Each structure stands twice: as structure tokens, then as C-alpha cells.
Amino acid sequence: MNRIPKILLTALAFFLSQPIWAQMPVEMADTMRADGKIRVVIGVVAIIFIGIVVYLIRLEMRMKRIEKRIQE
């Protein structure tokens, strides 16, 4: 008689715990983006990529010059 409520309580606790487990916060880099200077990293990545593209464009210019010379 006394056991049944205990089992029920356990079951209730188990089912209640499901949504709580599902709501557990997923770890994301929130603070890093807020004050962790992630924008500095974005800036660095952007500068590197722009640098590579500028180099590619200069390579294109040189390629064009050599193509002209070979046409003549």
C-alpha cells in the first residue's frame, strides 16, 4: 500500500525530468562573441582572405601581360 505512491512518485519525477533535460542549455560561445573579442578574429580572417585575393589579382595582371607578349 505504501509502496505504490513511491513508485508513482519516481515515475512522475522521471517524466518531469525529461523536459528539464531537454531544456538543458546547449553550450555556445555566447560570452566569447559578446566580450571575447571574436570580432577581432573575424577581422583577421577577413584581412587574410582579402590579402590572398589581392595577390591573386596581381597574379592575373602579370598573366595578362605575359599573354599579350606571347600573342605578338
Among 12, 51, 60, 65, binds other proteins (CB under 8 A): 60
What is the number of other CB atoms lying within 10 angstroms of the CB of residue 38? 13
Among 38, 51, 55, 65, binds other proteins (CB under 8 A): 38
Tell me: does residue 59 bind other proteins (CB under 8 A).
Answer: yes
Alpha-carbon separation of residue 32 from 11, 16, 38, 40, 41 (angstroms): 40, 33, 6, 11, 11
Positions in the binding site for other proteins (CB under 8 A): 25-29, 33, 38-39, 41-42, 45-46, 49-50, 53, 56-57, 59-61, 63-64, 66-67, 70
